[in-house]
Chain A
Amino acid sequence: MMDFMFAKPNISLDECVVTYDGTYEGLLTVVFECYRLKLAPTVIKPSGAAPQSLFTSQHPIEVTTDNASAKRVVAGIRKYGLQQAVMDVYKTFLSEDSNREMVIFGYLRLLFSIQKPINTRYHVSEVLRVSQLVKQMRREVHRMHAFVRFQELADGLFFAPIEPDFDVLPVTYQHFKARYASMQWCIYDIKRDYGVLYNGQTVEEVKLEEAKALNSVQLPAALLSGKEQDYQQLWRDYFNSTNIIERKNIKLHLRHVPTRYWKYLTEKQ
């Protein structure tokens, strides 16, 4: 099997639009195919989202996701950029940035040509962009570690709805799995309509019909465990009592807890 990283990318003048299924594995397959077919895509977009260019008659090249190819690309990223590059590229994808595909493609092209970590070459625009997006992701992941608020349901499941700015759940749940290993819990991304359910042993992705109707932290009282509302009230009481009125500083408060997160914060209800 040829190690595709050693194939010199012959970036020709053939410019093209490449589409994929919108998944991470799909994008990695695109990278693989571009090397195999010596393509220099100018646009990489999920199918259906690619703009029709006025100036070319070319049809977009549609790449079919192939997990084996995606795995080989990941192996290549790890080989040259170590685990950090694997995570940085994945987080860049999860950032949902509108230009993420081309940023990742440019980043990987440089990585595969230099063949050692490139994460501090900030003068290269793709490297700088990856570092910025990774930083945004890190901040949002950290916020979710902080702002997730579980509510105990009558059946003992701890449930938390979230609406993060980026798709952070795939790189967030491990923290909760380690911390709440003996509980059963579910964190649900309302915006992206999927969640992570931990049954006390393993984690699985779930889609809940009822979740769409949720638009605040207030779950129907009938669903909650007997003492849940008491603890929520105690937490609000604590939050208010621990404030020092003489030091009031709303600007600082808002910088740390932007209003868009309030909806799911028990103490702000």
Chain B
Amino acid sequence: MNERIQEKLKILADAAKYDVSCASSGSDRAAKAGGLGNASNMGICHSYTEDGRCVSLLKVLLTNYCIYDCAYCVSRSSNDVKRAAFTVDEVVELTMEFYKRNYIEGLFLSSGIFKNADYTMERLVRIAKDLRLVHNFNGYIHLKLIPGASDELVQQAGLYADRLSANLELPSETSLKLIAPEKSYAQVYEPMNYLKEAIVEYKREKKLVKSTPKFAPAGQSTQMVIGASPETDLHILNLSSSLYEEQNLKRVYFSGYIPVSNDTRLPTLVAPPLVRENRLYQADWLMRFYGFKVDEIVDDQHPHLDMQFDPKLVYALRNMHLFPINLQTAPYEMVVRVPGIGIRSAKKIMAARRYTRIHIDLLKKLRVALNRAQYFIDVPGNLLLRKDYYPELIRKELAGETKPQQLALFA
């Protein structure tokens, strides 16, 4: 085997792994005659690494040579690591051959910055273009937008990629300036805003001319490192909420900070803040799918997410006056706010109640997480409701410190 390729792949996959996004969803690129692949709208995770993260795309850097010296980044110029660079053909070949074997949904290509932003971006675009036009590849392509790249190149990227992303890197510009002095928010927002307008424009044209070629059909996303700087969860969630609403982003990713250097600009952590990261994603889900507003999850009095319980449960405990919910009559918006009832369960309940009384036994059969839901629902058969519950007692019971008394009787 070509050992040089093998070594390059190891180096450049290792350097790319801190980029969280592995989504391959949101695109519906159809197969073309004589071509290879298509994009599955729901996305497919082909494998999972031992850290439990999904492997959906071949995620590599074009190169880990970089002119910048960002403290949080493993590829920073002052870091003593092995450096490598792929050629265009090497990336194309790996993508095609991995794809044919059903290892991946496509390619996620990022890069260290060599020479300047445009020089780097131009090469990323060239690979995507080559895959699409020369090799007739219709799988998923995610390209990184290099901060400071010109509008022309961003436009080109949109023509060949399904998704594009520019990383904010840190949840505030102050922190970014401190940790990555050569970068600024403006550099990131510029391509992001250009792309937002271009996607709006594309959708308008598509309505008039059906044959308008696809333009970034899976939209754009961004990422920020959590736990390397002092921002509160309130600040972070407000930022991500504005990114969804104003920049029309499809996803905001959080990456629990993993110490990759002993740079004094960064905190020393024993372990990456994985629970916090998980809670932020749960809050993000509540905002995107459950109709929650930021201030219903965190506020000035509670600027941080609860580490012990998920944010939906915490919301319910803080708003006991809204519960219990009558599942026979409550509107969908309230049914999905019950802890232990997810989107799927809520839809099933809404559908089933047209034909039958919602009884606790039916909820059991529908596999609603009753251990949490039972405190918040008014349905026949729910014996727990007789007790006068207050938030602290529910917390204790759910933490396993006290046994739910009624449950013990009827278990």
Contact = CB atoms under 8 A, between A and B. Distances in A.
Q: How large is the interface on A (under 10, 10 to 19, 20 to 34, 35 or more residues)?
A: 35 or more
A257 B352 contact: no
Interface residues of B, number: 55
Lowest 5 CB-CB distances: which A-B pairs, in order? Answer: A252-B52, A120-B351, A247-B51, A241-B13, A123-B356
Given A122-B366, A183-B100, A247 B272 contact: yes
7 contacts: A121-B355, A146-B44, A150-B100, A241-B13, A247-B52, A256-B45, A267-B47
Contact of A253 (B5, B40, B49, B101): B49
A147 B9 contact: no
Nearest to A118: B355
Given A122-B362, A123-B355, A234-B94, A149 B101 contact: yes
A180 B53 contact: no
Given A253-B51, A256-B48, A234 B5 contact: yes
Interface string B262-290: 00000000011010000000000000000
B47 A257 contact: yes
A199 interface: no
Contact of B34 (A121, A151, A182): A182
Contacts of A252: 48, 51-52
Interface in B18-40: 18, 31, 33-38, 40
B387 interface: no
A182 B36 contact: yes
A241 B50 CA distance: 11
B17 to A, nearest CB: 5
Given A247-B258, A247-B272, A239 B55 contact: yes
A152 B100 contact: yes
Contact of B47 (A123, A179, A239, A249): A239
A242 interface: yes
Contacts of B51: 243-245, 247-249, 252-253
B102 to A, nearest CB: 5
Contacts of B102: 148-150, 160, 176
Given A180-B36, A230-B1, A238-B58, A243 B101 contact: no
Given A120-B352, A149-B102, A247-B53, A234 B9 contact: yes
